[in-house]
Structure 1
Amino acid sequence: MSDSPPDPAHRPRPPGTLKVGTIAGSDVLVSSSWFIVAGLIAVIVAPVVDQAQPGLGAWKYLAGLAFAVILYLSVLLHEASHAIVARGYGFPVSSITLHFLGGMTSIEGEARRPRQEFFIAVVGPLTSIAVGAVALGLRPLMPDGLLLMAVEGLAGANLLVGVLNLVPGLPLDGGRVLKSLVWRLTGNVHRGTIVAGWGGRLTAALVLFWPAFQEPLLGTEPDVMDYVLAFVVAAFLWSGSTAAMASARLRSRLPHLVARDLARRTLAVPSDLPLAEAVRRAHEASAGSIVTVTSNGVPEGIVSEAAVQATPEDRRPWVAVSAVARSLEAGLQLPADLVGEELVMAISRTPAAEYLLLETDGSVLGVLVTADVDKAFRAAGH
């Protein structure tokens, strides 16, 4: 993992987003869905603006839109705190995106220790609570009118966001906190994710049925918007927690992938050797792969198994082995000690059918075939 993020000028931007700036080297993006929710906030807040400052007319909607911007600036602070702590631990942060349901910080890589997971997660809700507390402290100093309304709204929203984000269920920050605690107690990060995922599913169910308990608990009858909002939030929580659990189950199988154990014995041959002779020698040596080398013995290509099979046997004596070999790019030469997620990430960076595995001293261990990795991954799931 590199500690330095990609150059922002060349960093790909997700479709449907608008870059509005950078924070600590991370792109700040606004999703197109944000403009929808900003408009909804403006319409919902307009009557409150009219009560706080009568006589504004249509300007009340502009004031409501300004409040939406202020509110999302506090969301940006929440997400920026995640980014800053993650960067402090050496994780690149590619972007911070503001969207319909709040914000998302794209942190590259996974926490290596429970402590990292805990602090990266908990700092967001604590930031929101701090912003809410500051706004609450400023309330007595505000004159009646729009300023007081904005401060009260900022205080209430941030305190609510901070507390709700601490609910112990993925994909909420509180779910990541729970994940870190279970990870710390059991020593198993995947078990932590599964427990926190079930917490997220339980939270989703409670949110879905919340309107049914709204009147008995709060004394207010739910309307259509309450049901719609409950469904949207519950669906978001359920899908997020389910995806996290599925990812954990996949990741639990990754430690079984050891490059060294999957390496095929290889035969080194000169690049101008006829393919038929190279195949004969490989069979004789019980080698599962062939590598072409220079006159000095330096590997320069990996023979493609698919290309060999596609070459008719009667043509093989007349075809040089180099014709069915792929030149060794940097990404096709991998350390033999790669294991688990590091191995998967290495082969995903340069997709290919075969890779040359090298020892630490530069000598060739063998060839890693992607099909063998896939087979081992499937076998680990049984």
Structure 2
Amino acid sequence: MSGAPSGVRLGTPFGVPIHLAASWPLFAVFAIVYFGPQIQHAVPELGAGAYVVAAAYVVLLALSVFAHEVAHAVAARASGARVGRIVLDLFGGHTVYEADRLTPGQSALVAVVGPLTNGVLAALVWVVAPVLPDGVPWLLGMAFVWSNAIVAIFNLIPGHPLDGGHLLDALVWRVTGRRDLGLLVSGWAGRLVALGVVAWFALRPLAAGVVPSLFVLGWAGLIAVMLWAGASQAVRHGRHLRAYARVTTRDVLAPVVLVAADTPLSHIPAGPRGAGAVDPIVLVGDADAPAESWLLCEPPADLDPREAASVPASAVAARPRPGWILDTPHLPDLADLVDHMHAASAAVVLVRTSDGVLGGVEASTVAAALRRHGLRP
């Protein structure tokens, strides 16, 4: 889960931090400026008070978004995922939770409860609308109904980062058994949705002979950019998972060569050559000593071969970073190994079980293997 956003922390109800992002006031200003004149036209006697009513509508809309995100958070927590926070921002809001912990069914449940919550809110206010007083109360009630209905329907469009995209992801994942394919399909669908937003607000009016306002075009452009960014993130995540599915720890596990401190560099065996070959990791130390005392031997790439015979391994050896040894009951998954390397900030990790050292893994070797299988930097 990513770091906390800038803005105001509103509280921590039911253990989940709620943040009002620094971008949210921009959304509020847009909504007031956009809806104020419409309310003034519908109820002329309000005058400038129409903008106060528009501000009240913004508050109701924020509560609707909050309810939507709380539904996501509750469903995610009930499914066993840790929820990081709820954020109200420029484009409504989002909930940060550990999506990778969920099954396809759980992922679909977390996605669908948000739009369902907005649908329920719209239905409830629709039922009580006939008893609302005429004028501003009725106007706000109907605006609340339609905005919740639109939020529910729009979010069900099948494309990341919308909830419908998460449903599409879960469906493809469930049918194929491949989470990477679900993310790739829903990510590309989300990119089409982003283009569709631009077409709807820009090309459709032009085709009808109407020039769209720059204000609406600017807002539609921001929404399209947000959708494209979210969709692209899903595509990148899908490529990431696909590459990791094709590379195992054994593919990048290198043999360990342990040499004495006075061993000349010319006597250290060279590794295999060729695409995908894994060079041995050379360590300096005593085989009878704990691995924690070993040093990492890294001869300079530009070392003159004629000098290698006179340079001992200890001259180019250094102590690895703390945490470079991974003690594990069995060979770890590559993703877990990479997580350990990141946590330890270690470029080289020694994998050790109760039977001894299995081998070593270099970050550069992992990166090269993943690139060969389509993972882009």
How high is the TM-score relative to the length of structure 2?
0.82
Cα distance change, pair 306–90 in 1 and its aligned pair in 2 (3 A): farther
Deviation at 1:308, TM superposition (A): 7.0
For the pair 1:350 / 2:344, whether they are aligned, the reply is yes
Q: Name the SS for the 2:145 alignment partner.
A: helix
Question: 1:138: how far off?
Answer: 2.3
Q: Which letter maps to 1:289?
A: I
Indicate whether 1:253 and 2:223 are aligned. no
Please tell me whether the aligned partners of residues 20 and 29 of structure 1 are also in contact (alpha carbons under 8 angstroms): yes
Alpha-carbon separation, structure 2, partners of 1:216 and 1:246: 35
Deviates more, 1:244-253 or 1:278-287: 278-287
SS in 1 for 2:231: helix
Maintained 8 Å contact 2:341/2:347: no
> Are 2:359 and 1:366 aligned?
yes
Q: Which residue of 2 aligns with 1:38?
A: 28
Note the 1:61-210 alignment, pairs <5 A. Answer: 61-210=51-200
- CA shift, 1:28, in A, is 1.3
Distance 2:242 2:361 in 1: 21
Give the counterpart of 1:277 among 260, 263, 277. 263
1:295 and 1:341 mapped to 2: Cα distance?
Answer: 30
SS of the aligned residue for 1:190 comes to helix
Identical pairs, percent = 29
Shift of 1:205: 2.6
- Conservation of the 8 A alpha-carbon contact between 1:256 and 1:340: no
1:334–1:23 CA distance, 2 compared to 1 (3 A):
farther
Q: Which range moves more in the overlay, 289-298 or 41-50?
A: 289-298
Q: Does residue 233 of the first structure (1) align with residue 223 of the second (2)?
A: yes
Report the counterpart of residue 299 of structure 1 in structure 2.
Answer: 291
Is the 1:302–1:327 contact (alpha carbons within 8 Å) kept by the matching residues of 2? no
Secondary structure of the corresponding residue to residue 341 of structure 1: helix
Q: Give the deviation of 1:291 after TM superposition.
A: 4.8
| Contact 2:256–2:283 (CA under 8 A) maintained in structure 1 | yes
Larger CA deviation: 300-309 vs 107-116: 300-309
Structure-1 residue corresponding to 2:276: none
* Aligned partners of 2:64 and 2:118 also within 8 Å: yes
Structure 2 residue ranges without an equivalent (≥5)? 273-278
Q: In structure 2, how many angstroms separate the alpha carbons of the residues matched to 1:291 and 1:88?
A: 48
Match in the other structure for 2:368: 375
Contact 1:92–1:107 (Cα < 8 Å) also in 2: yes
Is the alpha carbon distance of 1:70 and 1:32 closer, same or farther for their aligned partners in structure 2, counting shifts above 3 Å?
Answer: same
Closer, same or farther: CA 229–17 of 1 in aligned 2, 3 Å: same
Contact 1:171 1:241 in 2 (8 A): yes
Shift of 1:354: 0.5
CA distance in 2, matches of 1:194, 1:285: 37
Distance 1:318 1:132 in 2: 73
Give the unaligned 5+ runs of structure 1.
6-10
How big is each residue's C-alpha offset from its partner over 1:69-121, in whole Å with a ceiling of 9 and x where there is no partner? 22112111111211222222222222211111111112235254211221121
Structure 1 residue aligned with 2:204, among 172, 193, 213? 213
Q: 1:338 aligns with which of 332, 341, 350?
A: 332
Contact 2:285 2:295 (8 Å CA) reproduced: no
Aligned equivalents of 2:321 and 2:87: distance in 1? 40
What amino acid sits opposite 1:213 in the alignment? R
Distance 1:197 1:284 in 2: 44
Equivalent-residue separation in structure 1 for 2:337 and 2:268 (angstroms): 26
One-letter amino acid of the counterpart of residue 263, structure 2: E
Report the count of equivalent residues.
Answer: 364
CA contact (8 A) 2:284 2:314 kept: no
The Cα of 1:35 is off from its aligned counterpart by 0.6
| Cα RMSD, aligned residues only | 3.6
1:334: how far off?
A: 5.3
User: Structure 1 residues 175, 334: closer, same or farther in 2, change over 3 A?
Assistant: farther
Structure 2 residue matching 1:283: 3-state secondary structure: coil
* 1:207-230 Cα shifts (integer Å, max 9, x gaps): 21213435999x997433333333
SS of the aligned residue for 2:122 comes to helix
Once residues 183 and 303 of structure 1 are traced to their aligned partners in structure 2, the CA distance between those partners, rounded to angstroms, is 45
Q: Provide the residue aligned with 1:325 in structure 2.
A: 319
TM-score (norm 1): 0.81
